[in-house]
Structure 1
Amino acid sequence: MNLTLEQIQDFKGKYPRQIWSLFFSEMWERFCFYGMRGMLVFFMISELKFGDQQANLQYGATQAFVYAFTFVGGLFADKILGFRKSLFWGGLLMIVGSLILAFEPHQFFFLGIAFTVVGTGFFKPNISTMVGKLYKSDDTRRDAGFSLFYAGINLGALLGGYLCIAIGKGEMLSSIIPEDKRWNVAFGLAAIVMVISLINFVFTQRRMGPIGLAPQKILADGTKVALEKWKEYGVYVLSLIFVPLIMVMVSVPQYTDYFMWTVGPLTLIYLFYEMSKVTSPERKKLWAALIFILFSILFWGIYEQSGGSLSIFAAKNLNKDLLGLDPNGVNNSGGAFFIIFLAPLFGLLWIWLSKRKLEPNTIIKFGLGFIFLGLGYYVLFATRFFADLQGITSLNIFTIALLVITFGELCLSPIGLSIMTKLSTEKLQGMMMGLWFLASAYGQYVAGIIGAGMATAKEGSSNMDALIAYTDGYKQLGLYALIAGVLLIIISPFVKKLMQEVR
């Protein structure tokens, strides 16, 4: 089915047909990613016998490198591979990493993780860019499409994040899986769903027309020809060389500091170099994109406490007054659960407001995201008022906080993916999407520093002391988020001018 780009973008209804295929490929890839993510700290502590601090440091390093490598993957996709080949290659590397862990997770743990890090870098930014290509630049339905796509991300996160760790710990299928094989099966499940993701994408390609094909070289006479094959093969070889390098850097968390203090400035220098080669209107849009990216670092630094301080808070300071559910389980899956139901509704809300000329522009949505985030952390602070004398407080109130924080995420994260595709130039879309995820890497890095500070403050204290220390910290984070939200709304006229016709 050789569709043209115009035929794909000229769709009827709320969503293009192709978005559902990308939805399912991304859902299974996120199952693999969040399944692996959910197992890391528990596996390092229970099986590799790491201390809590060491495990959390190495978890933070892994997450930072995962998101940082999306910049590299996006750059190679822009310049050489194209989105389709980049996505497929990344998926293969993720399968290899999962299979290594399924075969011998104790001996080859960091090698398997390194393959997964590099593979995710090639897969993640490029499928998001392909979603953006389904829409014309002025199509108001784009935000709704990214909100639906974001629901697929979280469906995979919910399923993978729960099933993999449950199998590994022996809480599921323990009667049929031998105890010494549970972790092998859990990591193997991540590999199986990644295979499903790639098979789905192979069939998806037939309806994608020219979207995601490799870039071509333009000769002096204007003729377009394919790039030299050695460049494509060189990317494959180079990415395999990255694997042992990433393995060493993830296994020694101190290297994360050196990496984060180096890659950010170098990336900005390269971005400024690319900006010097574009037209003035395109440069203004890229400046606007950079403002979104910088604010997103602060957002994720505050938001991403769920894997660190909120996990400890849930384990030590929450009861089970919400249907008898486990507090850590609610902390790990509550956000994804809310997003699955709310993301399509938010998408439809933007369409409804757009038809009535009431839809806020993207910078206002970002500001609202911060305000909801801040309000959610103030609800976390309010849990102290429901605590007993032992410092145990209400899971119900905690869950309300997760709901409010989810409102903030839905105002920012899917809209952020969308705005990167709107503001990027044609030749820089993969790189800018990678830069968006690089900001997430810095957010993970900042979140680790914040969480470590809270953990140090409560060391050796009682549950009540810990409750006071954590809730004081959450109140402070809530204040920072509210200030950022108000600031974004104040500067929205300036950013709107930079964005020009983009909403």
Structure 2
Amino acid sequence: MSQTNSTDHFFKDTVLGHPSGLFVLFFTEMWERFSFYGMRSLLVLFFMASVVDGGWGWDQGTASSLFGSYVGLVYLSTMLGGYFADKKIGYRWAVVIGALLMTLGHFSMAFETQFTIYLGLVLLVFGNGFFKPNMTSIISEMYKDRPEKKDGAYTIFYMGVNAGAFFGILLCGYLGEKVGWGYGFGLAGIFMFLGLVQFWLSQSIFGDIGLKPVKKDVEELAKLDTDKRVPFTPWQLVVIAISTTLGLLWIINAPATKISKISGGNFNVFGFLGENGNAIAILTALVLFIILLVYRITQYSKTTREKLIAVTFFAFITIFFWAIFEQSPNSLTVFAEKYTNRILTGNSSAIFLVINSLMTIVPLIIINWVMFLLFRKTFAKYSVASIVLSISFVIIWIIALWMLVKDYYTAGYLELSDATLEFLRIKKTTEALTEVPATWFSTLNSLFIITLAPLFSKVWESKYNPNANVKYGIGMFLLALGMACVAFGAMGIEPGAQTASVSMIWLILVYLFHTMGELCISPVGLSYVSKLVPARMIAFMFGVWYLAVAIGMKGAGMFGEEVEAIADKNGISYFFWMLTFVSVAIGVLSIVMSPIIKKLMHGVR
């Protein structure tokens, strides 16, 4: 290996055994996830809130439809962002453009008008597409000569992802619900902007990585991979164009049709196809895509063909996993808001306040310690970037402490003078109680991931490590167990009921089991794509994989569209039992198919 191409210089001055650049990415990604999850946790609640409460007064079906289209497009846009980064502008410019678009998107949403909300969502879709796939690409390049260190690097990076998601949901959710929706949306924009500035000022720490497009060495790939090539023919490109156009029009038209009806309109791109035009369009797109996928798979050599079938099977399971798992910011958050007893008094209030304080302060201290270690290595050279990062945490501490002070005051455990209350913008109250925000429960996913990930990692590295199908099956069973908890807790709610007081413990159990399911499935999928697919086909199959995730995300919205109708007819518990049985069925399918898929994988573990 020539010294010119070596990345060893990144490891000469490390933080916790890793290059300082990893931690620049850690904090940049942390603020991006803060903004993304913070805004997302509020979206459905904002749409459903009454006009008096500052929302739009939509029904849950319309809110879920737009939510599903938004998160689906976020994942589809990664293919566009990845293409431009690889072929045109490089990883670093892609990250900068993505962060800038997301900053503008969040600030746009803070104004809460129809135009600015829709504009904000469009900017966030494209911003995520440029940002999301390229952060990990920079890490991959930085560690290309130290593959043995990659697992540890991605573990640290994943901690930043979950720390950002945790604080984003906790603080944006709190401000959005307790103060005003625009404050929650705006706070997300502030931290995305600070993350952008920090990355821009520190980017020279990455050397030449990501400065310009990475050119694929076709000759090298040819030497490593002599398998039969199947180039895209004109008819195949036409099929791709038709199915893509129909899919994109459908994913936009589905919520647009519902939204237009609210204002008395009748917008429907596929109206000429009749009452079921939307369904006809998307089924046509799926059939065309499946025909193309099956045809192309049959054209490869036996070994490659069978490996591609295995990847496609895992992608199919993934659709159902995300469609059910992503009820978190949708039907589960609405369940927390409408049907869960979130008013705590006495000992219950005290216990919650202590737990919430520890959940807030301890992670902040740990992350500040990591920031201090980074500053020791980089402050002299990147002082302005370090100051920007420090400002970010000063703001976080101020908002977090304000939130805790407000909660202790409203619960009756803290006395504050009128002047202090006015200074802190806290409303005076004589009622001693704690109201848990509906979005608070979503923070448990990130908290449980950070807590449980090391345990699951140890199991996967031990002799008890199950094969991929069993992992998927266990993940789906845990998903089912979580849904069964909330279904059982909701059994006393009558059909048509608009409120209830179900115990918080059921939602806590949901997030515990769902997080365990996520740890069985989420880290596995992309790993198998890279292991099973020939190098030259990875981009295409990653596209198929992200398409499966996007379908799952849209599926989550489609499930959410049916909640109110099912709850009115059969009770809300019936809806969650349906998702429970679907999860069990998919889990059984995964395990039953284990011997067949194992054979198709040709020894890949």
> Does TM, scored on the shorter chain, surpass 0.5?
yes
For residue 419 of structure 1, what is the amino acid of its counterpart?
Y
Q: Distance in 2 between matches of 1:168 and 1:305?
A: 20
State yes or no: 1:4 paired with 2:12. no
Identity within the alignment, %: 31
Could you tell me whether the CA contact under 8 Å between 2:105 and 2:123 is conserved in 1?
yes
Contact (CA 8 Å) 1:110, 1:251: kept in 2 or not?
A: no
Does the 8 A contact of 1:74 with 1:434 survive in 2? no
Alignment of 1:311-330 (within 5 A): 311-320=333-342, 323=352, 324=434, 326=436, 328-330=438-440
Alignment match of 2:550 (pick from 424, 428, 441): 441
Corresponding position: 1:412 with 2:521 = yes
In structure 2, give the amino acid aligned to 1:473. F
Matched residue, 2:215: 215
Cα 1:183–1:492 shift into 2, 3 Å:
closer
More off after superposition, 390-399 vs 181-190: 181-190
CA distance 1:201–1:58, change in 2 (3 Å):
farther
- In the other structure, the counterpart of 1:308 is 330
Find the aligned partners of 2:10 and 2:282 in 1 and give their Cα distance.
40
User: What is the CA–CA distance in structure 1 between the aligned matches of 2:459 and 2:154, rounded to whole Å?
Assistant: 13
User: C-alpha separation between the residues in 1 aligned to 2:597 and 2:521?
Assistant: 16
Partner residue in 1 for 2:30: 27
Q: Residue 189 of structure 2 aligns with which residue?
A: 188
Residue pairs, 1:281-430, within 5 angstroms: 281-320=303-342, 323=352, 324=434, 326=436, 328-351=438-461, 353=462, 357-384=463-490, 391-430=500-539
Separation (CA, whole Å) in 2 of partners of 1:392 and 1:294? 37
* CA distance 1:185–1:392, shift in 2 (3 Å): closer
Contact 1:25 1:200 in 2 (8 A): no
Q: Which has the higher Rg, Structure 1 or Structure 2?
A: 2
- AA in 2 matched with 1:297: I
2:506 paired with 1:484: no
CA distance in 2, matches of 1:380, 1:48: 27
Distance 2:81 2:290 in 1: 16
Look up the match of 2:200.
Answer: 199
Query: 1:484: Cα distance to partner?
Result: 1.6
Change (3 A) 1:304 1:495: same
- CA shift for structure 1 position 370: 0.7
Structure 2 unaligned runs (5+)?
223-247, 259-268, 270-277, 353-433
1:169–1:387 distance in 2 versus 1, CA, 3 Å: closer
Question: Which residue, 160, 164, 177 being the options, matches 1:156?
Answer: 164
- Residues 108-123 of structure 1 aligned to structure 2 (within 5 Å): 108-123=116-131
Which residue pairs with 1:71 in the alignment? 79
Contact in 2 for aligned 1:28/1:156 (Cα 8 Å): yes
The residue aligned with 2:370 is none
| More contact order relative to length (CA 8 Å, sep ≥ 6) | 1
Q: 1:95 to 1:401 in 2, by over 3 A?
A: closer
Amino acid at match of 1:412: I
- Match of 2:76, SS? helix
1:134-179: CA deviation from partner (whole Å, max 9, x where unpaired): 77899798777655544332221111223234334554xxxxxxx8
CA–CA distance in 1 between the matches of 2:596 and 2:480? 24
**Aligned equivalent of 1:229:** none
Aligned partner of 1:475 among 574, 577, 582: 577
Assess if the C-alpha contact under 8 Å between 1:30 and 1:157 holds in 2: yes
Tell me the CA shift for residue 185 of structure 1. Answer: 3.6
Greater Cα shift, 15-24 or 389-398: 15-24
Mapped contact 1:319–1:395 kept (Cα < 8 A)? yes
Specify the SS of the correspondent of 1:214.
coil
Shift of 1:195: 0.9
Q: What SS class does the counterpart of residue 472 from structure 1 fall into? A: helix
Counterpart amino acid of residue 319 in structure 2: I
Is the deviation greater in 443-452 or in 268-277? 268-277
Work out whether residues 46 and 181 of structure 2, in 8 Å CA contact, stay in contact via their aligned partners in 1: no
- Amino acid across the alignment from 2:316: L
The question of whether the paired residues in 1 share the 8 Å contact of 2:479 and 2:583 is answered with yes
Contact 2:30 2:160 in 1 (8 A): yes
C-alpha displacement at 1:92, in angstroms?
A: 3.4
Is contact 2:34–2:166 with CA below 8 Å preserved after alignment?
yes
Q: Can you give the 5+ residue segments of structure 1 that lack an aligned partner in the other structure?
A: 172-178, 223-243
For residues 182 and 337 of structure 2, the distance between their equivalents in structure 1, rounded to whole angstroms, comes to: 27
CA 1:100–1:312 in 2, change beyond 3 Å: closer, same or farther? Answer: closer
The Cα of 1:288 is off from its aligned counterpart by 1.7
Q: State whether structure 2 residue 476 is matched by structure 1 residue 454.
A: no
When residues 145 and 248 of structure 1 are mapped into structure 2, their CA distance, relative to the original with a 3 A threshold, is same
Shift of 1:488: 1.1
How far the C-alpha of 1:447 sits from its partner, in A, is 2.0
1:5 and 1:269 map into 2 onto residues whose CA distance is: 44
Deviation string, structure 1 residues 292-351 (Cα, Å, up to 9, x no partner)? 111111111121222232222212221136625626133322212211222233223323
Q: Within 1, Cα distance between the matches of 2:181 and 2:580?
A: 44
What is the CA–CA distance in structure 2 between the aligned matches of 1:197 and 1:344, rounded to whole Å? Answer: 29
Deviations 1:61-86 (A, max 9, x none): 21222122223334455555555554
Equivalent in the alignment of 2:256: 252
